[in-house]
Amino acid sequence: MLDDFLAVFGIINSRILLISVLLFFIGYALAPTAYYKKYKWLLAYPFFIIHLMEKHFKRDWPAPLIFLVILTLNSLSLYFNLLSGWIVFLPYFVIIYLGLNVGVIIYHTLEGKFFYLSLFNPVALIELPAAWISITMAIQFSLGRYIDTLPIISFMQYTVYFLQTIIPILVLAGIIETALIVYSRRYEKED
């Protein structure tokens, strides 16, 4: 089982992974400017998510439901990353836009405070590498059809890697995030 989890790391190209991380941070660094200058075409999706969460996500939900919602949303988002590999240049835009969306949501939620420091929380430290790996797989899938030096791996195999590696990472992140929400809820009730 551990071998299955680690298998993806044997096929990940480290240069493409670093490009994925760099592109994410380009999007993340652009977020305060997009937020401050109110570029509606860049802010539409993150504010849709913010509105959706504020309207429908209830902090008093039972922990299993909170976990299920978090896991479902994160899994769908990262699987979309992987699906973007079907179109050659789309993964590059998707990872920049993901960085921008995460940045806008954090900037809005924290009112601009601790913008970069907020990435050093336990959930982000787990979820972000999962996002980078999923987009790296998408880029590799996309380029693997055209560049001989990359391994030719079927989309189905990348989906297996996604299920064996990304989903367990997201489960761990979801457990931690749910625990933090439940703990903060108890702390708020005491005040």
Q: What is the pLDDT of residues 6-56, one digit of tens each?
A: 888 888 999 999 999 999 999 999 999 999 998 888 888 888 888 888 887
How large is the greatest C-alpha to C-alpha distance in the chain, in angstroms? Answer: 61
Domain assignment of residue 4, yes or no: no
Domain assignment of residue 109, yes or no: yes
Domain assignment of residue 24, yes or no: yes
Whole-number Å distance between alpha carbons of 74 and 179: 16
Domain assignment of residue 1, yes or no: no
pLDDT surpasses 60 at 191: no
Domain assignment of residue 130, yes or no: yes
Q: For Cα atoms 135, 78, 128, give the angle at the middle one, nearest 5 degrees.
A: 70
Q: How many domains does the chain have?
A: 1
Both structure tokens of 29:
């660094």
Domain assignment of residue 103, yes or no: yes
Q: Tokens 């860049």 — which residue?
A: 42
Domain assignment of residue 159, yes or no: yes
| Per-range mean pLDDT, top range of 4-13, 34-43, 110-119, 169-178 | 169-178
Contacting residues for 149 by C-beta, under 8 A, at least 6 apart: none
Domain range for 52 is 9-185
Using CB atoms within 10 A of its CB, is residue 139 exposed (0-12), middle (13-18) or buried (19+)? buried
Q: What is the pLDDT of residue 5?
A: 82
Domain assignment of residue 3, yes or no: no
pLDDT surpasses 90 at 138: yes
Across the chain, mean pLDDT equals 91
